[in-house]
Structure 1
Amino acid sequence: MDIGIGLPGHAPWTDGRQLVEWARRAEARGFSSVAVSDRLCWSTPEPLVTLAAAAGATRRIRLLTSVLLAPLHTNHLLFAKAVATLDHLAGPGRLQLGLAAGFRADDFTASGVDYAGRGQAFTALLERLRDTGAPGLRPATPGGTALLFGGTSRAALRRIASRGTGWLAGTATVEDLDDFLPQLHAAWAAAGRDGAPRVVVSAMYALGPHAAASVASAIGPYYAFAGEEWARAGIAAACTSAEQITELVEAFERAGCDELILTGNDPDPAQVDLLAEALGR
């Protein structure tokens, strides 16, 4: 199972150059991917811009949006051009585009995009990408950028089986994988796809003497929109020790995960080195 790093974009970062340093260190320490999340009405950095900076600072590590809120990109051709440009800047095969419909209504309200119609908007974007691509710019990656999709709805299953290379499970549990993977593999087979869908899961972490405080200050406010219970659960699920990380890695590998993205909650780039050491790298 591959192990990637998630940038602490949801945490209280103040210097974007630190995020670029995270990418540099992640590549140097042998992590498989550097991932960035998406949230409009938050301090989370814009994913494509952030990965463009990471692409310029690295050479080999994969670049993943986990996940990008696809329906907010209402100018489909402009979005296709941005993705194709990033594919060229990164080099063939590095960009992995994780997409989802989104579920936080305030991002849509602020954008003037219909929240109730986000599924239809998502489908329209995918169809335009398939039929037209980026005007005047062929993809650097043969066959185009790899697409992974988030969500567990029937629509998400259809997207993965018909257009995707895999599933982005988000901050799922092993039990979530046990519930969803049989459905995913059945849909994949029914669509006549060869091989198996790639399964990518995320988990939160912080290490060092201030780990618990970092987790609480990052996850608590970020999940507050969903209520105190959800925020407490998110804080409790985060790994704050090498032992917890080892147990998590072993559990997800047994569950059939192909890549685990460990997302930081402390903006200090030294967290990359602490994670590598916890993993014995």
Structure 2
Amino acid sequence: MEIGIGLPGHAPWRDGRILVEWARRAEARGFSTLSVSDRLVWNTPEPLLTLAAAAGATSRIRLLTSVLLGPLRANHALFAKAVATLDQLAGPGRVRLGLSPGSREDDFAVGGVDWDSRGKQLDLLLERLAEPVGLAPATAGGPPLLFGGGSRATVRRIVSHGTGWIAGDATVEDVEGFAPQVRTAWADAGKAGAPRVIASVMYALGPGAEAAVADAIGPYYAFAGEEYSQYGISIAYTSPEQIAAAIPAFERAGCDELIFMGNDPDPGQVDLLADVVLTGR
């Protein structure tokens, strides 16, 4: 199982150059993937722009949106060209797009996109991505697509357009519960190989780890109520022992890659995590 790292885009960062430094350190320390999340009505940086900056600061590490809110990209042709541009800037085989319909209605209200038709809009976007606009991607066939969510529509999109599933802020039980459905549908469709399964979890390390998690996750999940916000905080990983135990547990659950999402903007968090998960690998 590969180990990736996620930018602390939802955390209280204040200087975008810190995120670029995360990218440099993530590659230098040997992480498989650098991911970035997506929200409109939050301080989360725009994913494609952020990964373009990361692409310029690195040369090998894979770049992933985890997950990008596809329906908000209402100009499908412009989005297709933006994806091809990012793929060209990064070079063949580095970019992967994780996509989702979205789960926060305020993002769509501010973005001027109809909330109720977001699933249909995502399906239309997927069809447009298959047709290059003015610029061909560097990766043959374009960047691989993965999908977040836990619905039948998620399974359908994985089978029809994707290469796998992303479980966001996941537990081992989440993966064990949904990944078999994805694999069964994949096999039933006669697709070769197996769908890729990626799980992402929240982390912070060091003396201020628990406070960093509370400060980042608490407000971020406040829209869903106090109980859910506290749940999100409770399942985050804040000690080397917890992180070391999570890796074999997710691997046994069938994950191909586990991504630890940062909650403390300090780039030193990259090194703290690498010292735990990459030493001796």
Q: TM-score range by the shorter chain?
A: over 0.9
Aligned-pair CA distance for 1:63: 0.2
In the comparison of the two structures, how many residue pairs are matched?
A: 279
Q: Is residue 2:187 matched to residue 1:178?
A: no
Match of 2:138 among 124, 140, 143: 140
Secondary structure (helix, strand or coil) at the match of 2:211 reads helix
Residue 260 of structure 2 aligns with which residue? 262
Match of 1:188 among 186, 189, 194: 186
Residue 234 of structure 1 aligns with which residue? 232
* Amino acid aligned to 1:128: R
TM-score (norm 1): 0.98
How far, CA to CA, are the matches of 1:232 and 1:77 in structure 2?
40
How far, CA to CA, are the matches of 1:240 and 1:151 in structure 2?
25
1:150-173, Cα deviation, whole Å (9 max, x unpaired): 111111101001110100111121
How far, CA to CA, are the matches of 2:107 and 2:11 in structure 1?
18
Q: Is residue 2:268 matched to residue 1:273?
A: no
1:31-70 alignment to 2 at 5 Å?
A: 31-70=31-70
Structure 1: unaligned runs, 5 residues or longer: none
Residue 217 of structure 1 aligns with which residue? 215
How far, CA to CA, are the matches of 2:196 and 2:143 in structure 1?
14
Aligned-pair CA distance for 1:181: 1.6
Residue 101 of structure 2 aligns with which residue? 101
Structure 2: unaligned runs, 5 residues or longer: none
1:109-120 alignment to 2 at 5 Å?
A: 109-120=109-120
Aligned-pair CA distance for 1:177: 1.4
How far, CA to CA, are the matches of 2:101 and 2:119 in structure 1?
6
How far, CA to CA, are the matches of 2:189 and 2:127 in structure 1?
17
How far, CA to CA, are the matches of 1:82 and 1:280 in structure 2?
33
How far, CA to CA, are the matches of 2:184 and 2:193 in structure 1?
12
Aligned-pair CA distance for 1:192: 1.3
1:193-215, Cα deviation, whole Å (9 max, x unpaired): 11100001000000011111101
1:35-94, Cα deviation, whole Å (9 max, x unpaired): 000000000000000000000000000000000000001101100000000000000000
Secondary structure (helix, strand or coil) at the match of 2:200 reads strand
Residue 28 of structure 2 aligns with which residue? 28
Residue 11 of structure 1 aligns with which residue? 11
How far, CA to CA, are the matches of 1:276 and 1:177 in structure 2?
24
How far, CA to CA, are the matches of 1:152 and 1:224 in structure 2?
21
How far, CA to CA, are the matches of 2:181 and 2:238 in structure 1?
32
1:74-121, Cα deviation, whole Å (9 max, x unpaired): 101100000000000000000010000001000001111110100111
How far, CA to CA, are the matches of 2:184 and 2:275 in structure 1?
38
Aligned-pair CA distance for 1:280: 4.6
Aligned-pair CA distance for 1:142: 1.2
How far, CA to CA, are the matches of 2:176 and 2:251 in structure 1?
12
How far, CA to CA, are the matches of 2:207 and 2:239 in structure 1?
10
* Amino acid aligned to 1:191: A
Q: What is the RMSD computed on CA atoms of the aligned residues?
A: 0.8
